[in-house]
C-alpha cells in the first residue's frame, strides 16, 4: 500500500548534526516490505547512559519486555530497530527472536547483552524472521555513519507518510550540547504513551537516573499529550541515549539548575516530534490544538483535553469543517473531571463561541466556520473550576483513516 504524503507534513527533514560517540546505519532485510529499508542500527561508544518510557499495555511485545529489563542497569551500547513486524504476541518464539538479535550484536561489538536495546513495529502476531536481520548485521556494521539520521527516520516508518526528525542545540554550564531525535507514528497513537517509537540521543554527559527523570517529565507534556485514535500500541518505546562526549561538568541531580536550558530543549524537541506524529496521523487532514484551562489540576486539564481529542464526534466534526461546539461540551462532560457546566467557555480559532454555559449573545458562526476550513484548528475550553491548564494535540477523523485501517494488512 502506498500512501500520499500527509498534507500536514513539514516542508523538509531538518539538518541533523553528527553526535560524538554515536553511529547509525540502516538496511533492507526484507522482513515484510520489499524495496525499502526496514532495519536501523545505532552503535554507542562505551560510557553511554540510557533512560526510557515504555507502553503500559498489558500485552506488551517481546522487545518492550526486554527493554524494561535492560533499562534497569542504565548503560547502552547498541540499538536495533525493525519495522514491518512488531514481534508482539509471538509467545516464546518472540522472546527467542529478541535473544538471538541481542546475541548477534554482542558477538559483533563485544558488549553485555543488557546494553543492547531492541524495538520492533509493524504487524502483530506473526513470527519475526530474525535470521534475515542477524545475518545482515555484520555487513550493516561496516556502513555505520554519523550522518545517517534521515535514513534512520525512514527505516523505522510503517504507515508513516514522512520521516520525523528534530534537533536542538543547548548548553549545560556553558558547554554546548546537542540533542537529536527521530520518531515514527502513526496509528495506535494515544497516551500511555503516545508514540509507537522514538529514539533520542545527546552528547551530554548525564547519569541514567537524571536522564530518566528528565525524560519522564518531558514525555508527560509531549508524547503523553497527543492522540490520534485512542488506541495504545503493544510496542510504544521512547529511549534517550547520552554518549557523554560533550564532556560537560558532572551533574548528579535532575533538579540541578545547570539543567534548565537542557530540560527546556529536550521538552521542545519531544514536542516537535510529538506534533510531527500527530500531523502524520493516519488519514489526517487537519491539525488540532486543544487548550484546556480552569480545571482543578494540570492532569485534570489534560484528561479533559484528551477526552475532546479522542472523541470521534468532535474529530468527525473537524473533518467536516463544522464548528459543532455542542460536541465539545459533550466531550467535556464525559471526561470524568470536575467542570462547571454554567461557567464553561469555548473559543474556536480565538473567537468566543460559548460563555458561562451558553452560546454568546448574537453569535455569528461565519468567522468560526472560516477558521474550520483551515488546516490548523484551535480549540480552547475553560471549565470554570480552578487554575489547572494543559495543551493537547490531535488530528481530525475522516475517510482517510478508514481507508488506511480497513485495509492495513493487505
Residues of each annotated binding site for substrate: 158, 184, 195, 282, 405, 410
Q: How far is the CB of 175 from a second copy (least distance, A)?
A: 42
Q: How far is the CB of 191 from a second copy (least distance, A)?
A: 10
CB 167 within 8 Å of CB 276 = no
Letter string b/e over residues 208-224, b meaning 16 or more CB atoms within 10 A of that residue's CB: bebbbbbbeebbbbbbb
Nearer to a second copy, 172 or 228 (CB): 228
Residue 339 φ/ψ, nearest 5 degrees: -150, 145
Q: How far is the CB of 52 from a second copy (least distance, A)?
A: 18
Interface residue list for a second copy (CB under 8 A): 55, 57-60, 86, 88-93, 123-126, 187-188, 190, 192, 229-234, 310-313, 316-317, 319-320, 322, 324-327, 329-339, 341-342, 344, 354, 356-359, 397-399, 401-402, 405-410
Nearer to a second copy, 258 or 329 (CB): 329
Q: Measuring CA to CA, which residue among 160, 409, 153 is closest to residue 283?
A: 160
Tell me which residue has cell 502476531.
125
278 backbone φψ class: left, alpha, beta (φ>0; ψ -120 to 50):
alpha
Residue 78 φ/ψ, nearest 5 degrees: -155, 155
Nearer to a second copy, 32 or 263 (CB): 32
Cis bond before residue 107 (omega within 30° of 0): no
Largest CA-CA distance found in the chain, in angstroms, rounded: 73
List residues bridging with 50 in a β-sheet.
Answer: 241
CB 31 within 8 Å of CB 84 = yes
Q: How far is CA 16 from CA 103, 149, 217, 311, in A?
A: 31, 7, 24, 36
Nearer to a second copy, 152 or 353 (CB): 353
Give the full edge-to-edge strand order of the sheet including 78-85.
22-27, 39-44, 78-85, 116-123
- Residue of 90, 195, 222, 237 with catalytic role: 195
Sign of the CA dihedral with 165 first, then 168, 169, and 170 last: negative
Nearer to a second copy, 244 or 283 (CB): 283
Tell me which residue has cell 507514528.
185
Q: For residue 309, how far is the Cα from the chain centroid?
A: 16
Q: How far is the CB of 262 from a second copy (least distance, A)?
A: 33
Q: In the numeric block, which cell numbers belong to residue 40?
A: 536501523
Q: How far is the CB of 342 from a second copy (least distance, A)?
A: 6
Report how far residue 157's alpha carbon sits from residue 84's, in angstroms, rounded to the nearest whole number: 8
Q: How far is the CB of 314 from a second copy (least distance, A)?
A: 8
Report how far residue 180's alpha carbon sits from residue 42's, in angstroms, rounded to the nearest whole number: 13
Q: How far is the CB of 190 from a second copy (least distance, A)?
A: 8
Nearer to a second copy, 88 or 392 (CB): 88
Nearer to a second copy, 145 or 334 (CB): 334
Q: In the numeric block, which cell numbers belong to residue 349?
A: 480559532
195 is catalytic: yes
Active site residues: 195
Amino acid at each position: 500500500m502506498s500512501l500520499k504524503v500527509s498534507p500536514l507534513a513539514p516542508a523538509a527533514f531538518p539538518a541533523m548534526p553528527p553526535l560524538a560517540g554515536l553511529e547509525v546505519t540502516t538496511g533492507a532485510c526484507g522482513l515484510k516490505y520489499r524495496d525499502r529499508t526496514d532495519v536501523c542500527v545505532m552503535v554507542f561508544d562505551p560510557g553511554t547512559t540510557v533512560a526510557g518510557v515504555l507502553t503500559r499495555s498489558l500485552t506488551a511485545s517481546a522487545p518492550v519486555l526486554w527493554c524494561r529489563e535492560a533499562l534497569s542497569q542504565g548503560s547502552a551500547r547498541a540499538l536495533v530497530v525493525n519495522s514491518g513486524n512488531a514481534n508482539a504476541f509471538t509467545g516464546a518464539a518472540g522472546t527467542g527472536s529478541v535473544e538471538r538479535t541481542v546475541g548477534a550484536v554482542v558477538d559483533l561489538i563485544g558488549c553485555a547483552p543488557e546494553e543492547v536495546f531492541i524495538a520492533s513495529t509493524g504487524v502483530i502476531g506473526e513470527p519475526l524472521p530474525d535470521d534475515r536481520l542477524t545475518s545482515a548485521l555484520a555487513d550493516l556494521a561496516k556502513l555505520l555513519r554519523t550522518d545517517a539520521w534521515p535514513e534512520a527516520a525512514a527505516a523505522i516508518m510503517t504507515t508513516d507518510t514522512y520521516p520525523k526528525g528534530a534537533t536542538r542545540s543547548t548548553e549545560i554550564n556553558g558547554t554546548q550540547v546537542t540533542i537529536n531525535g527521530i520518531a515514527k507514528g502513526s496509528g495506535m497513537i494515544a497516551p500511555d504513551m503516545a508514540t509507537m517509537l522514538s529514539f533520542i540521543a545527546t552528547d551530554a554527559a548525564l547519569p541514567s537516573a537524571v536522564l530518566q527523570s528528565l525524560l519522564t517529565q518531558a514525555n508527560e507534556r509531549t508524547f503523553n499529550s497527543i492522540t490520534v485514535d485512542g488506541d495504545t500500541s503493544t510496542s510504544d518505546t521512547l529511549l534517550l541515549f547520552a554518549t557523554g562526549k560533550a564532556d560537560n561538568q558532572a551533574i548528579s541531580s535532575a533538579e540541578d539548575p545547570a539543567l534548565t536550558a537542557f530540560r527546556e530543549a529536550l521538552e521542545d524537541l519531544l514536542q516537535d516530534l510529538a506534533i510531527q506524529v500527530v500531523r502524520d496521523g493516519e488519514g489526517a487532514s487537519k491539525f488540532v490544538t486543544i487548550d484546556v484551562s480552569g480545571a482543578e489540576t494540570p492532569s485534570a486539564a489534560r484528561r479533559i483535553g484528551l477526552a475532546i481529542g479522542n472523541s470521534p464526534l468532535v474529530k468527525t466534526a473537524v473533518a467536516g469543517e463544522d464548528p459543532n461546539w455542542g460536541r465539545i461540551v459533550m466531550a467535556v462532560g464525559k471526561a470524568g473531571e470536575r467542570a462547571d457546566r454554567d461557567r464553561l467557555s469555548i473559543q474556536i480559532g480565538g473567537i468566543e463561541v460559548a460563555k458561562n454555559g451558553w452560546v454568546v449573545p448574537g453569535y455569528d458562526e461565519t468567522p468560526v466556520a472560516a477558521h474550520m476550513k483551515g488546516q490548523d484548528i484551535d480549540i480552547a475550553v475553560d471549565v470554570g473550576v480552578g487554575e489547572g491548564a494543559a495543551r493537547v494535540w490531535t488530528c481530525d477523523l475522516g475517510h482517510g483513516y478508514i481507508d488506511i485501517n480497513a485495509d492495513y494488512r493487505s
